[in-house]
């Protein structure tokens, strides 16, 4: 992913160049691609990298492709600027209990981005459902950030692939 200078702008969204979204356009329905386009350039680039990684490993079903591209769509419009993302990584590493406290219901407050990040899998699954994605894609998005043991065995193989590619991208 190409990082560019962003004159006159400090936002995370504006600080990353737009990726080539053709693989997403080819893999998604028109409605799902519209949803994909609601994500920041950085998150679009991350999602495309996850799909690329999966495709490098072997065949990828349409449901898993869509989940790779949309798994973080719940973060769109969540106010997750670079300072918030940095703070989340630091809090997760050093003060997880503090992060947990910050993630409660917080609409309209400065804490809202913490909540958006914490609940992005649920929010993303709802958005995918509304965009007409398959139930398997919706489930993969919903559970991409939970422990595999908590998920039905039917989903496990795809979910494990998605989580591994997500962590590596
Ligand atoms: Fe995620
Ligand atoms: Fe991700």
Q: Mean per-residue pLDDT for 128-149?
A: 94
Digit-coded pLDDT (tens) for 36-57: 999 999 999 999 999 999 999 9
| DSSP conformational letter for 19 | P
Tell me which residue of 126, 169, 161, 168 sits closest to 144, measured CA to CA.
161
For residue 66, the model assigns a pLDDT of: 98
For residue 10, the model assigns a pLDDT of: 40
Tell me which residue of 28, 38, 41 sits closest to 1, measured CA to CA.
41
For residue 18, the model assigns a pLDDT of: 86
How far is the centre of ligand 1, averaged over its atoms, from the C-alpha of 73 (Å)? 8
Q: How confident is the model at residue 6 (pLDDT cuts 50, 70, 90)?
A: very low
How far is the centre of ligand 1, averaged over its atoms, from the C-alpha of 30 (Å)? 22
For residue 108, the model assigns a pLDDT of: 79
Digit-coded pLDDT (tens) for 61-72: 999 999 999 999
Digit-coded pLDDT (tens) for 106-132: 777 888 899 999 999 999 999 999 999
How far is the centre of ligand 2, averaged over its atoms, from the C-alpha of 67 (Å)? 10
Burial class (CB in 10 A: 0-12, 13-18, 19+), 42: buried
């Amino acid at each position: 992913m190409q990082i560019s200078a962003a004159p006159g702008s400090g936002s995370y969204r504006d600080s990353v160049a737009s990726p080539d979204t053709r693989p997403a356009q080819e893999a998604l329905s028109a409605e799902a691609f519209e949803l994909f386009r609601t994500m920041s350039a950085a998150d679009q680039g991350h999602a495309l990298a996850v799909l690329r990684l999966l495709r490098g490993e072997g065949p990828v079903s349409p449901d898993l492709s869509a989940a790779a591209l949309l798994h973080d769509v719940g973060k769109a419009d969540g106010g997750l600027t670079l300072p918030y993302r940095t703070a989340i990584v630091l809090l997760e590493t050093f003060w997880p209990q503090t992060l947990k406290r910050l993630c409660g219901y917080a609409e309209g407050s400065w804490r809202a981005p913490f909540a958006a990040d914490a609940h992005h899998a649920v929010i993303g699954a709802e958005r995918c459902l509304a965009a007409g994605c398959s139930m398997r894609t919706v489930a993969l998005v919903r559970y991409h950030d939970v422990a595999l043991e908590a998920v039905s065995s039917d989903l496990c193989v795809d979910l494990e692939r998605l989580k591994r590619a997500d962590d590596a991208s």
